[in-house]
Amino acid sequence: MTGTMRSGEPVVSSRSSHARRLFAGIALSYERVATILSIGQDPLWRHALVASVAARSGERVLDVATGTGMVARALVSRYECRVIGLDQSAQMLAAATRAASAAHPTPLVRAQGERLPFADESFDHVTFTYLLRYVDDPAATIRELARVLRPGGRLAMLEFGMPANPLWRFLWRAYTRVGLPLAGRLISGSWSAVGDFLGPSIERFYAEHPQAEVERYWRAAGLEAITVQRMSLGGGTVMIATKRSRTRQEALPSTAEPVAGPTGTAAAFYALSPGGWRDYWTLLHPPYTAWHLSYVLLGAALAPAPDPRIVLGGWC
């Protein structure tokens, strides 16, 4: 991937620093080894991510955590859109430059997904891959990604998942805790570190941020029509949503969550739908009748010339 690489060096959190160290030693072999260690699933997940964007020719797309540029290259090839790749790892961006096609130069930016160096609503679509486990505040990061997305544009994510089925989860845990670390040791010391880190990282993320909570982050950031596609028995998750229009954002609460009313309480008799026996019950219900008569008595008492028969209850 060719093009200008701009760089900014803001304060980096310990989590981001760990990610930089982790990926520094695997950039050159990343695409090949990631395919092998995922048993061929990683390319399928990325293909689904790209397909979900449905960009148009000429549209601007930001690919965050672009890594070696696999998703960025696929977006350009499939849609002929204009893509900017962004990543915090200099080594991964260098690998992206080497893997790029000279016919489709794509600008690369070295920056963090939590602090995007772009103006509001700069892009028609935004994609990101394996990002949220490496940031301190996933909710704030989603808000930042949505900030640079135009209303009506799509935000699409690929992340590792955890199988819901107990059997598949047992097999998934056995592979990520035993098989993956052993395979990493056979490849290199750098991949051994990745193998040791990945499984616990995924479990820790979903323990702190369950899938339902992640979806809430998206809605709170002004995203709607959220679709979650679980792939490979739950081992991969593709999420996509659309940014609400400004009119809808102003009309909805900031959290975009429905306001729930009290539950378990029956409607009062005077709030029931009209018609049938309810109309007669309303007329005959003693408290309701007394309530209305009180207004009659109050009005009579406040009249310029009150009728003592009404005020005193003499109705004859």
Q: How far apart are CA 103 and CA 193, in angstroms?
A: 36
Global pTM reads: 0.75
Q: What is the pLDDT of residue 166?
A: 96
Tell whether 89 and 165 lie within a shared domain.
yes
Q: What are the backbone dihedrals phi and psi of residue 169, each rounded to the nearest 5 degrees, phi first?
A: -65, -35
Indicate the pairing of strand 149-160 with strand 236-243: antiparallel
Q: What are phi and psi of 108, to 5 degrees?
A: -120, 140
* In a shared domain, residues 304 and 160: no
231 and 307 housed in the same domain:
no
Residue 260 included in any domain: no
Which of 104-113, 227-236, 246-255 shows the lowest mean pLDDT across its residues?
246-255
Q: What average pLDDT does range 17-32 have in this prediction?
A: 90
256 occurs within a structural domain: no
Amino acid (1-letter code) at residue 25:
G
Residues 124 and 160 in one domain: yes
Residues 211, 243, single domain; the answer is yes
Whether 221 is in a domain gets the answer yes
Q: What CATH number is attached to the domain comprising 127?
A: 3.40.50.150
- Within a domain: residue 133? yes
Share of residues in the chain with pLDDT > 70 (%)? 73
**pLDDT the model gives residue 307:** 52
If we measure between CA atoms, which residue out of 219, 54, 235, 60 comes closest to residue 130?
Answer: 235
Domain boundary among 251, 280, 295: 251
Domain membership of residue 262 (yes or no) is no
> What angle do helix axes 189-208 and 30-37 make, rounded to 10 degrees?
60
Is the domain of 150 the same as that of 275?
no
Both 80 and 30 in one domain: the answer is yes
Q: Is residue 96 part of a domain?
A: yes
Give the count of domains, the chain: 2
Range of weakest confidence among 10-14, 25-29, 56-60, 255-259: 255-259
Q: Which of 114, 120, 127 is nearest to 149 (CA)?
A: 120
88 plus 211 within the same structural domain: yes
Structure confidence at residue 246 (pLDDT):
75
Q: Could you tell me the residue range of the domain that residue 289 belongs to?
A: 269-311
297 and 208, same domain (yes or no)? no
Q: How far apart (Å, rounded) are the C-alpha atoms in residues 251 and 316? A: 56
200 domain residue, yes or no: yes
- Residues 209, 102, single domain; the answer is yes
Contact present, 134 and 201 (Cβ < 8 Å): no
Residue 316 lies in a domain: no
pLDDT at 66 over 50: yes
Same domain? 161 vs 220: yes
Both 243 and 306 in one domain: the answer is: no
CA pair distance 2, 185, nearest whole angstrom: 33
pLDDT digits (tens, 9 = 90+) for 239-292: 999 999 876 655 555 444 433 333 343 444 333 444 444 444 444 444 444 444
Return d(Cα 17, Cα 21) in angstroms, integer.
6
* CA pair distance 194, 88, nearest whole angstrom: 17
Least confident of 89-93, 187-191, 230-234, 269-273: 269-273
